[in-house]
Every structure is written in C-alpha cells, then in structure tokens.
Amino acid sequence: MKKTIMSLLVICLAGCQNTRHDIEKEVRIPSQHGQSVIDVAPMLPEAVKVLLKEAETHKQNGDFNLAIMTIDRALRIVPDSPSVQQHLAEMYLADGDYELAMLWAKKVMVNGPAFGVLCERARRTVALSAEVLGEKEQQLHALETIAGCVQQAKPRY
C-alpha cells in the first residue's frame, strides 16, 4: 500500500514537471491590452521576421528544440534585439526550461523597452518562471513591475 501511494505521488510529480506553459494565453495575449500610450516596436530585418515566424510554426508542431535553434539563428543576426531575446525566453518557458526563460527575460527587462507590450511580456515570463522555480521574491517583483510598463495618457484640458 505504501509503495503504491509513493508510486502515484512520483507519477503526479513527474506529470507536473512536464506541464508546458501556453505562452499565448499566459504571456502574449494579456500583454496586448493596449492601454499604454507608449509602445516600443523594435525594427527587425526581414530575415529575422521570417525566422521568428518559422520558429512559431515549429512550436505549433511541438518541436521546441527546432524552434529554439531557429530563434538562435535570428539572434545571431541581431544579437542585442530585446524582441528576439524575448521570443527565445518565451520558447524556453513553453519548453519548460524555466531557468533559461528567466535568464533571457531578465535581459529584456534590463536592456529592453521600459514601456509597452515587450516590457510586459518580459515581466510575465520572469513571473511564471520564478513561480515554478520557487523564487517568490523574483516573482513578486516581476508582477509588481508589470503596471509600470503601461504609460497612461496625460489628461487634456
């Protein structure tokens, strides 16, 4: 009886480890609320846009390794692009590599835009990764700073 309970517990915990985050529902869609009057949309070369689209196709097909390799190719073209770095962070999050997801999203938080969608996506990625890793202080900090990504319009008289 004791072995059966332990076996079930191990199976349940193993299942928790394989849970993938839905980056569309948990990161991208909530970040597109459009309330910030300032949004930074970094310009990307067409080749990078094609690679990011290709990576999304690989993700949809469940091939996260190929998606990550494709984003790595894009990052070689524009190594300092917060937009590409955030795509990489989100792909690691979707693949369940929370440490790398947090590492890349933190780079975006430091070097990326201070307002807009990309700002918010980075903070949501850090918050989700930190939650899984049990780093509550980092999770709380990321959640608290999401509101700062929204720049409200000044009242006009």
Q: Which residue has the higher pLDDT, 41 or 91?
A: 91
Q: Is residue 34's pLDDT more than 60?
A: no
Q: How confident is the model at residue 27 (pLDDT cuts 50, 70, 90)?
A: confident
Mean pLDDT (whole number) for 112-125: 91
Q: How confident is the model at residue 13 (pLDDT cuts 50, 70, 90)?
A: very low
Mean pLDDT (whole number) for 93-108: 96
Which domains does the chain carry?
22-149 (1.25.40.10)
pTM above 0.85, yes or no: no
Q: What pLDDT digit, counting tens, does each position of 35-48 carry? A: 555 555 568 899 99
pLDDT of residue 86: 95
Q: Which residue has the higher pLDDT, 20 or 43?
A: 43
pLDDT of residue 111: 93
CA 67/CA 81 separation, integer angstroms: 17
Mean pLDDT (the chain, rounded):
82
